[in-house]
Amino acid sequence: MSEPNILPSPTQRVASRVWRQDGAAVAGGRTVPAETAIAFDFDGASYAVMMATPADFEDFAVGFSLTEGVIESAEEIEELSVVPVPDGVVIRMSLAAARRDAVWERRRHLAGPVGCGLCGIESLSQAVRRVPAVADGGLVVSAASLAQAMRSLPPLQRLNRETRAIHAAAFWQPGSAVGLVREDVGRHNALDKLVGAVARGGLAASHGALLLTSRISVEMVQKSAMAGAPIVIAVSAPTALAIRVADEAGITLAGIARDDGFEIFTHPDRIRLEPLEDVA
């Protein structure tokens, strides 16, 4: 439990007992990621509670609000404060008047373990919610440059280098290096934090690709669609439902990204397979 008025650290150092197959056992230590209860409060009403890595709170607040459809733009959050409390952190937001009624209509409480992106929903239809189709802005990238962007991601994962237990989501635009990386013990949280960072930075997700270190479940595709991302690529495989939703949303979905390439599952026309320069 953290002390009031002090934001918790995203990592902690803990003692361990190290055993190896040669029979040796010695005292050791390891840096592990922290998990903290983070509550989202809109205009005095609790909306959701998520277990997450205590870092990038403002990005998390904006990104979660966007991908959950609470707001349509970051400007609709008029005030935002991060308040440490004995049992976690409360993120308090005041919304523009036009959005407040919509929040009350959609208000739900989630208790969100890091491995679950759908906890607390009230009906089966919410689990497979329809998402808007991404805008076709003519973005085309070369397969070689997209693969290189994925290969550049591990050195940028500071928390994962320390703990070996953290997911990452990154934003890459053709012709440039990977610009934004956000990390969290929960893959959904990492993506929300990234979406918030993109929005707060005045960038447009439609101008680049989302790079993920996790598997591609349907919730990840839904959040990417809400952010307006036309290309999503991950190191792991997508589920069948994720592929279907990506296809319906017009998202180019790629997975199994390895050093020797990747697989494209939907809307392949945005990726040039020959090693040509990117076309924006």
What is the C-alpha separation between 225 and 235, in angstroms, rounded? Answer: 19
Residue 199 token pair: 């929005």
Q: Which residues contact 47 (CB under 8 A, 6 or more apart)?
A: 40, 41, 70, 103, 107, 108, 109
Q: Is 150 helix (H, G, I), strand (E, B) or coil?
A: helix
Residue 247 token pair: 């296809």
Catalytic residue among 7, 32, 116, 165: 116
What is the C-alpha separation between 175 and 167, in angstroms, rounded? Answer: 25
What is the C-alpha separation between 80 and 43, in angstroms, rounded? Answer: 10
Rg (CA), the chain: 19
**Is 116 labeled as catalytic in the residue annotation?**
yes
Contact assessment for residue 52 and residue 36, using Cβ atoms and an 8 Å cutoff:
yes
Residue 14's φ and ψ, nearest 5 degrees, are: -130, 155
Task: Provide the edge-to-edge strand list for the sheet that holds 231-234.
Answer: 180-184, 167-172, 209-212, 231-234, 252-258, 261-266
Smallest Cα–Cα separation from 234: which of 277, 188, 202, 279? Answer: 188
Q: What is the CA 130 to chain-centroid distance, rounded?
A: 19
What is the C-alpha separation between 94 and 206, in angstroms, rounded? Answer: 27
Residues carrying an active site annotation: 116
